[in-house]
Amino acid sequence: MAIEKKNIEKKRESIFLNEHFMEGTCAFAVITGLISIVFFRIEWDYFSVFELVIKLVTTAAMLFAFKSYDWDVAKGLMGGVLFCIMYQEAYLVLARLWGEQDFDTYLVVGVQGSLYLAAAGMSLLLTIIIAINHFIINYASSGNPENVIFNRLAIIFKFAVYLLLLLTNSKLGLSSALIWKNGLQYLTDMAIFLLFVSIESQFDLFKVLRKELLREKRKRSKT
């Protein structure tokens, strides 16, 4: 009976609550990021490499803090990773595409170029929404079910946008090195967002557990 009960609990458990899944997504993000640094460092300036290193180190530190049960540190580091992703996307959209007036390069390509520009802008907006929701979810005194659901929806849309970026990136007629570099960046960020979903799911569960413990404590004190 005990074994059957354990098997039922395992079936009910979400993959996002599995620690091996978290470690796997973190390792994938770090590996793809390191491949980018090793193979494409010549094409990047020092600041771009530094930015990517900071993002990877902060991601690994976030998982380590989470596993060491330093919740506040993990939440703070998650905000740091979101800031890194937001900065990199803002730089692409506002500095490179808009600031350097690089729109024409993409528009000449046609439909694929237009879709890439639209997806890049949408990706930045979604990251801003996810970052705002991150603070609402993780820094509130109690769970925020509506904001958790909204954040999950935003991340699902973010994944659709990343797939669009990957598809259009491969059709733009760029150099193979640039296509691979962009592709690895999108895959790295997809893995990081999967890790976010996992950790935020755990935070939400701990808030529910805390409420239940407080309720039990009140019942005992009354009796």
Tens-place pLDDT, residues 112-140: 888 888 999 999 999 999 999 888 877 77
Please, which pLDDT band fits residue 18 given cuts at 50, 70 and 90? confident
With a cut of 50, say whether residue 218 has pLDDT above it: yes
| Nearest CA among 190, 211, 186 for reference residue 26 | 190
Determine contact, residues 131/84, Cβ cutoff 8 Å: no
HEC string of 33-44 equals HHHHHHHHCCCC
Tell me the two tokens of residue 131. 């970052």
**Cβ(148)–Cβ(200) under 8 Å?**
yes
pLDDT at residue 5 in the model? 42
**For position 11, what pLDDT does the model report?**
47
State pLDDT tens for residues 157-178. Answer: 999 999 999 999 988 887 888 8
Residue 9: pLDDT band (50, 70, 90) is very low
Average pLDDT in the chain: 83
Please give the structure tokens belonging to residue 34: 């390191």
Q: Give the model confidence (pLDDT) of 46-98 as tens digits.
A: 888 899 999 999 999 999 999 887 778 888 999 999 999 999 999 888 887 77
Q: How far is CA 47 from CA 54, 82, 85, in A?
A: 10, 18, 14
